[in-house]
Structure 1
Amino acid sequence: MLETYCNASRQRINHDKSSIFFSRGCPGSMREAIKNSLQVHNESLSDRYLGMPTDVGHSKNGTFKYLRDRVWEKVK
């Protein structure tokens, strides 16, 4: 599917910059198979992407508190 996208868009995947994120319940063998299939070997994900948190979890109020605080400061 990614190869089809690349051919259609004329874009290429930079495997050095790519990373993948798995949920906690994903078995290690499946992680390895997916990483090998996609040729993405970096499994770490930074805390933020484009200024937004990458892992929100159950506590959305706590996760987005900084955003609410920044907007509130501008409103004041």
Structure 2
Amino acid sequence: MGAMEVNQVLDTYCQASGQRINYAKSSIFFSKGVPENIRNDIKGILHVPNETLNEKYLGMPSDIGSSKNGAFKYLKDRLWSRIQGWIEKSLST
């Protein structure tokens, strides 16, 4: 199974680098067609209890998908709100 190979690669990396994986902060994402029993098996093999889709990683959405406009809309909105704040400060002086 591929999950066992991934687990071996992660173990080898940890032994070689001296770093450790924080499994409590780790999560895994499955596509829609994966049965629940397979999901549970893979999460057990990889020691990753969290299954998630709608999280951010380094401030970016982890689920970009095919709609790039929808995925990055929040960046556009944040940038626009900052620009509006700068405009208001400039106009008030």
Q: Structure 2: where are the runs of 5+ without partners?
A: 1-8, 88-93
Identify the structure with the greater helix proportion.
Answer: 2
Distance in 1 of aligned mates of 2:17 and 2:24:
20
- Indicate the RMSD between aligned Cα atoms, in angstroms: 2.3
| Matching residue of 1:6 | 14
Instruction: Find the counterpart in structure 1 of residue 63 from structure 2.
Output: 55
Q: TM-score normalised to the size of structure 2?
A: 0.66
CA displacement 1:4-61 (0-9 Å, x = unmatched):
0100111111111111111111121211111110111111244322111111122111
For residues 40 and 66 of structure 1, the distance between their equivalents in structure 2, rounded to whole angstroms, comes to 28
> After superposition, where does 1:18-29 map in structure 2 within 5 Å?
18-29=26-37
Corresponding residue pairs, total: 75
Note if 1:66 corresponds to 2:55.
Answer: no
- Where 1:37 maps in the other structure, the secondary structure is helix
Provide the identity percentage: 59
1:32 aligns with 2:40: yes
Q: CA deviation at 1:66?
A: 3.0
